[in-house]
Structure 1
C-alpha cells in the first residue's frame, strides 16, 4: 500500500499543500515548527480518524480556517487506486471514499498507517487506553466483525453508565439488558483480542530481538478487564453499588490492558526511556508485519524526527528492514538522517507550512 498523492488544507500551519509521494522513501526536512510533523499527521488521520499528537482536536484546525480536510490517492498491492478523504468543519469527522460519504470504519479499512513519533513511548509507559487503541486497530484489520462488537459494547457501556449516574438508584431490570449486552459483546472482543495477540507475539519477539537483544526473552501479558474466575454479568451485578459511587463501570472489555516484560527487565520501571521507545517501535513494526501477512501489503510507515529518537545503528536497522519489506516510508528531520545517506529517497523541504520538493 502506498500514498501516491497527499493533499492537506487547514491542518495546523499548513494552509494548502499537495504532495506527490515516492512509493518508497520520502523525507521531509525543515526547521522545528515548520510543519513537517503535520504531514505525517495528515496520513495518520486517514488511518485512525484521530491525531497521534496530544491536545484538543480544535488545535488541528489552522488559525482562521473554517474547515480541515485531508485527501489521498491510495494504491494497493493489486494496483487498485482508491481516493479517500477526511474532513471536519464542526465537531464531527466526515469520511469519503471515491467521492461518496461513508462511515469512518470504511475509510480506515482503505488506508493503513503506523507511526513512530516522540510520544510513542506512551505505548509502553502510558495509560492503558493507548495500548487498547493499538490492540484494537490491529484486531479491526484482522477480524471483520470486530467493529460491530465494539460498537455494541460502547452503546451498552454508555447506557449502563447513564443509569449509574441517575439521581435515584434505578431498578435492577433496567440494568440487566445492558449488562447482558456488555458481557456478550465483551466476550467476543476479548476472544478476538487474545487471538490477535497470539498472532502478534512471535513477530514481536523477533522484532525485539533485533532492537533490544540485551533484554533477553520477551513475555507478552494480557488482562481482559474483569475477573478470570467470575462471569462478567455476575460481576457487573455485584459491583453496581461500587460503580454507582464512582459514576462509571469498572469491569469489562473497556478496562483491558496488555504489557511487555523482559527476562532482564521484568518490570516496566526497569526500562530506560530509550528502551521504552525501542520497545514501542518493535510493537509498531511487528503490527505492520502482521498486517502485511493478512492483507498482502505493508501499511504506510511514518517515522517522525527519526534522528533524534534513535541512534544511528538503530536508524540504519529500521530503514533497512522497511526498504527490504518494500514499505512506503514518510520520515521527518531537521536534516538528512545518516541512515538515508546511501538510500534512494524523495526529499521535500518544509518551511512555514509550505512544501517544496528538493530531490
Structure 2
C-alpha cells in the first residue's frame, strides 16, 4: 500500500499543502513546531478517523478556520488506485472513497496506517482504552464482521447505561433485551479478540527478539472484561444494583484489557521508559506484519521524531526491517537521522506549514 499523493487543508498550522510521496522512505525535516508531525497526522486520520495526538478534535483545526480536510491517492499491491478523503466542518467527520460518500468504516478499510510516536509508550503504560483501540483496529482488518458486532454492542451498551441513569427500577422487562444483545455481540467480539492476539503473539515474539532480546520470551495476557469463570448474562443481571448506583455498566468487553509479560520482566513496572517505547514499537511492527500477511500488502508506517525516540542501533534495525518489507515510510526529524545517511530517501523541508522537496 502506498500513498502517492497527500493533500491537507486547515490541519493545525497547514493552510493548503499537497505532496507527491516516494513509495519508499519519505523524511520531513524542520524545526520544532514547523508542521512536520501534522503530515503524519493527516495520513493517520485517513486510517483511524482520529489523531494519534491527545486533545480535543477542535485542536486539529487551523486557528481561524472552521473546516479541515485530508485527501490522498492510494495505490494498492494489486496496482489498484483509490482516492480517499476525510473532512470535518462541524461535529462529524465525512468520508469519501472515489468521490462517493461512505461510512467511516469503509474509508478505514481502504487505508491502513500504523504509527510510532513520542506518546506510543502509553500503549504499554497507559490506560486500557489505548490498548483496546490497538487491538480492535487489528481485529477490524482481519475479521470482516467485527465492525457490525462492535456497533451492536455499543448501541446496547448505550441503551443499558441510559436505563441505569434513568432512576427506573432495574426490572427484567426493561433490561433483559439489551443485556441479551450485549451478551451475544460481546461474546463474538471477545472470541475475535482472542483469536487475533493468538495470531499476533508469534509476530510480536519475533519483533521483540530483534529489539529487546534481553527480556526473553513474551506472553500476551488478555482480560475479557468480566470474570473468566462466570457467565456474562448472569453477571449483568447480578450487577444491576451496583451498576445502578454507579450509573454505568461495569462488566463487558468494553472493559477488556491486555498486557505483555516478559520472561525477565513479568510486571509492567519492571520496564524502563525506554523499554516501554521499544515494546510499543515492537507491537506496532508486529501488527503491521500481521496486517501484511492477511491483506497481501504492508500498511503505511509513520515514525514521528525517530532520532529522539530511539538510539542509533535501534533506528538502524527498524529502518532495515521496513526496507526489507518494502513498506512505505513517513518519518520526521529536525535533521536527517544517521540511520538514513546511506539509505535512498525523499527529503522534504517543512517550515511554517509549507513543504519543499530537497532530495
Scaled by the length of structure 2, the TM-score of the pair is: 0.99
SS of alignment partner, residue 141 of structure 1 = helix
Q: Which runs of 5+ in 1 are unaligned?
A: none
Give the Cα–Cα distance (whole angstroms) in 2 for the partners of residues 337 and 173 of structure 1: 63
Give the Cα–Cα distance (whole angstroms) in 2 for the partners of residues 10 and 173 of structure 1: 50
CA drift at 1:358? 0.6
Q: State the match for 1:248 in structure 2.
A: 248
Q: State the match for 1:140 in structure 2.
A: 140
SS of alignment partner, residue 17 of structure 2 = strand
Are positions 1:47 and 2:21 aligned together? no
Q: State the match for 1:184 in structure 2.
A: 184
Q: Deviations over 1:82-135 (max 9, x none)?
A: 000000000100000000000000000110000000000000000000000000
Are positions 1:165 and 2:191 aligned together? no
SS of alignment partner, residue 27 of structure 2 = strand
SS of alignment partner, residue 260 of structure 1 = strand
Give the Cα–Cα distance (whole angstroms) in 2 for the partners of residues 249 and 167 of structure 1: 14
Q: Which runs of 4+ in 1 moved over 3 A?
A: none
- Given that 2:170 and 2:241 are in contact with CA atoms closer than 8 Å, whether structure 1 keeps it comes out as no
CA drift at 1:66? 2.1
Q: State the match for 1:102 in structure 2.
A: 102
Equivalent runs, 1:58-207 vs 2, <5 Å? 58-207=58-207
Q: State the match for 1:5 in structure 2.
A: 5
CA drift at 1:170? 4.3
SS of alignment partner, residue 6 of structure 1 = strand
CA drift at 1:279? 0.1
Give the Cα–Cα distance (whole angstroms) in 1 for the partners of residues 176 and 331 of structure 2: 50
CA drift at 1:314? 0.1
- Given that 2:220 and 2:260 are in contact with CA atoms closer than 8 Å, whether structure 1 keeps it comes out as yes
Q: State the match for 1:356 in structure 2.
A: 356
Q: Deviations over 1:177-197 (max 9, x none)?
A: 100100000000000000000
Equivalent runs, 1:321-336 vs 2, <5 Å? 321-336=321-336
Give the Cα–Cα distance (whole angstroms) in 2 for the partners of residues 121 and 157 of structure 1: 29
SS of alignment partner, residue 251 of structure 2 = coil
CA drift at 1:167? 2.7
Q: Which runs of 5+ in 2 are unaligned?
A: none
Give the Cα–Cα distance (whole angstroms) in 1 for the partners of residues 71 and 227 of structure 2: 44
SS of alignment partner, residue 7 of structure 2 = strand
Give the Cα–Cα distance (whole angstroms) in 2 for the partners of residues 344 and 133 of structure 1: 34
Q: Deviations over 1:249-298 (max 9, x none)?
A: 01001011000011111100000000000000000000000000000000
CA RMSD of aligned residues (A): 0.6
Q: Deviations over 1:146-184 (max 9, x none)?
A: 000000000000000000001332432110010010000
CA drift at 1:207? 0.2
Give the Cα–Cα distance (whole angstroms) in 2 for the partners of residues 283 and 125 of structure 1: 13
- Given that 2:29 and 2:348 are in contact with CA atoms closer than 8 Å, whether structure 1 keeps it comes out as yes
Give the Cα–Cα distance (whole angstroms) in 2 for the partners of residues 63 and 307 of structure 1: 29
